């Protein structure tokens, strides 16, 4: 029988989601807790992987287990067992073909840019001291929406088979002294969101004209795009699935 976990975590103390030798990851931490509580070898499969320092408000993972147990009690026990940086929001049964990664129809990320020096948000946002031209940044976003091949925004030397991504929505949200970049797509490439943000900030600072984004994307050359922004301000915020996977 297959089960989905809905998880949120603060990535500050983890070396990303995916298991790594000699490093503490979110995946390994949850697996170890499940093994202890269910007294059986458990492997969990995540909807994707987040890099070191990246947070998740909504990550999903699945695991298989064939013995009977009380779902609500396992969630309570897991949250008591896990450290304070990880919270299990829900556990539910899904059909046996449902897959946390391959069944997902979309993923959404947010990147937080603080426009003032805020001592309470510096650990989860990136502070920009200079003034940004929001209008030009929005012009660049409109250009990005017109494309599907994002090799120029992908980490170099990755083993992906395609650089095509379908961007469903992409926007800047001004919230008092915080600027939030929100992007939703069917899939993302390694470092894609942070590199898009880095490019948009270059546009906002007047270092790159908005129209140049056309040439950056068409070049498929990572060196033409802006820098990859720090991970601590990036959040995985939502993963969506077909409604019929849940039993």
Catalytic annotation, residues: 51
Pairwise CA distance, residues 123 & 226, whole Å: 22
- Listing DSSP states for 176-225 in one string gives TTEEEEEEEES---TTHHHHHHHHHHHHHTTSS-TTHHHHHHHHT-GGGS
Pairwise CA distance, residues 213 & 230, whole Å: 21
- To the nearest 10 degrees (0 to 180), the angle between helices 212-219 and 134-145 is 40
- Going from the C-alpha of 38 to that of each of 68, 71, 210, the distances in angstroms are 10, 12, 54
Neighbouring residues of 32: CB distance < 8 A, sequence distance ≥ 6: none
Q: Are the beta carbons of 239 and 110 closer than 8 angstroms? A: no
Closest CA relative to residue 165, chosen from 173, 153, 155, 156: 153
User: In Å, how far from its chain's centre is CA 157?
Assistant: 20
Neighbouring residues of 128: CB distance < 8 A, sequence distance ≥ 6: 113, 114, 115, 179, 201
In Å, the largest CA–CA distance within the chain is 60
């Amino acid at each position: 029988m297959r089960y989905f976990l809905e998880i949120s975590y603060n990535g500050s103390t983890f070396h990303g989601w995916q298991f790594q030798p000699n490093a503490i990851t979110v995946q390994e931490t949850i697996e170890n807790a499940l093994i202890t509580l269910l007294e059986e070898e458990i492997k969990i499969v995540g909807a994707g992987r987040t890099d070191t320092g990246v947070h998740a408000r909504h990550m999903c993972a699945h695991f298989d287990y064939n013995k009977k147990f009380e779902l609500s009690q396992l969630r309570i026990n897991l949250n008591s067992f896990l450290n304070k940086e990880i919270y299990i929001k829900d556990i539910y049964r899904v059909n046996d073909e449902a897959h946390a990664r391959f069944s997902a129809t979309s993923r959404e990320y947010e990147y937080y840019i603080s426009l003032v020096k805020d001592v309470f948000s510096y650990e989860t946002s990136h502070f920009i001291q200079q003034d940004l031209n929001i209008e030009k940044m929005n012009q660049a976003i409109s250009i990005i929406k017109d494309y599907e091949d994002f090799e120029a925004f992908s980490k170099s030397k990755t083993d992906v088979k395609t650089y095509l991504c379908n961007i469903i929505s992409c926007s800047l949200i001004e919230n008092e002294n915080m600027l939030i970049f929100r992007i939703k797509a069917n899939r993302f490439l390694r470092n894609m969101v942070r590199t898009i943000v880095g490019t948009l900030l270059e546009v906002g600072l007047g270092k790159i004209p908005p129209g140049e984004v056309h040439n950056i994307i068409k070049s498929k050359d990572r060196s033409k795009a802006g820098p990859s922004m720090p991970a601590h301000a990036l959040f995985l915020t939502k993963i969506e699935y077909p409604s019929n996977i849940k039993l």
